[in-house]
Amino acid sequence: MVAVHHRYAQVRGRRLFYREAGPADAPAVVLLHGYPTSSFMFRGLVPALADDYHVIAPDHLGFGLSDAPSADEFTYTFDALTDLTAALLAHLGVAHYAIYVQDYGAPIGWRLALNEPAAISAIITQNGNAYEAGFVDAFWRTVWDYQREQTPQTEAAIREALTLDAIKWQYLTGVPDPTLVSPETWHHDHALVSRPGNDRVQLALFRDYATNPPLYPRLHEYMRAYRPPLLAAWGKGDEIFAPAGARAFADDVPDARVHLLDGGHFLLESALDEVVPLIRDFLGDNVPNNGQ
């Protein structure tokens, strides 16, 4: 049985929670979660990789078991979350690593790559968008409306994303057999999002998501210049980030491995046994653990 450690670190005055497993001297793989979850989404993936890799899965500030200062105490932006992630990795002595990005983890991972391209050994994206083609308008229209103008009407509409029903929708939509997804997932996420003051944290990040698409041209240039090994393992039933977003990676990384799998936004919840071999084959070819 693989030992998974559940740890905290003080980073720039903030207490960040992270899961860690595997040999400290093995190649590092950093798992970056999305909204509205935490490193809890990687509870099955961490031990599945840790025999050959040093796996680190942090909770972003405001999520999971990390500190969640109020929106008055901390300016929640994707730049700020990226800076904290980079500082955590520096604290842990991790300078070269592969990233697994999903949803909000993607803009954090993209910033890490743009800020220090040589640090990234490989990219795994699971419904982590990097192209305009990936956005499903029916979902994102409410977000774009709120970004353009914060009114009682646009705020009320975006607050629906914080409800239990909306979070459950994210987990079950596109999953061929919804009984494979544990109800604990959406109840766990909803409980943490519902902590006093966390609504304003999430609203701040909904607004700041507007800063992410403008980064895409730079990101595409980085991909063309550095050609990072890239695996897109995508839930093709996702109604937030469409399969077109997965296919688009091959435009800039021609040898990208793109797999569209039966599943939704949180693919690991229903298709972990399909995703793990894809990741292990990909990492074995591109980030081999020569010491094992």
- Tens of pLDDT, residue by residue over 31-63, are 999 999 999 999 999 999 999 999 999 999 999
pTM over 0.95: yes
- Tens of pLDDT, residue by residue over 157-192, are 999 999 999 999 999 999 999 999 999 999 999 999
Our answer to whether residue 265 is catalytic in this structure is yes
Instruction: Give CA–CA dist 235/143, Å, rounded.
Output: 21
Q: Do 273 and 266 touch, CB atoms closer than 8 A?
A: no
Tokens 């070269």 belong to 96
Contacts of 51 (CB under 8 A, 6+ apart): 2, 22, 292
Type of residue found at 246: A
> CA-CA distances (angstroms) from residue 246 to 21, 65, 265?
28, 30, 12
CA 179 from centre of chain:
24
CA 247 from centre of chain:
18
- Tens of pLDDT, residue by residue over 255-290, are 999 999 999 999 999 999 999 999 999 999 999 876
Q: Which of 33, 54, 60, 265 is the catalytic position?
A: 265
pLDDT level of residue 1 (50, 70, 90 thresholds): confident
DSSP codes of every residue in 221-285: HHHHHH---EEEEEETT-SSB-HHHHHTHHHHSTT-EEEEES--SSTHHHHHHHHHHHHHHHHHH
pLDDT of residue 289: 76
Q: What share of the chain is helix, strand, coil (3-state, %, to 5)?
A: 50, 15, 35
Q: Closest Cα partner for 30 from 76, 93, 78, 80?
A: 93
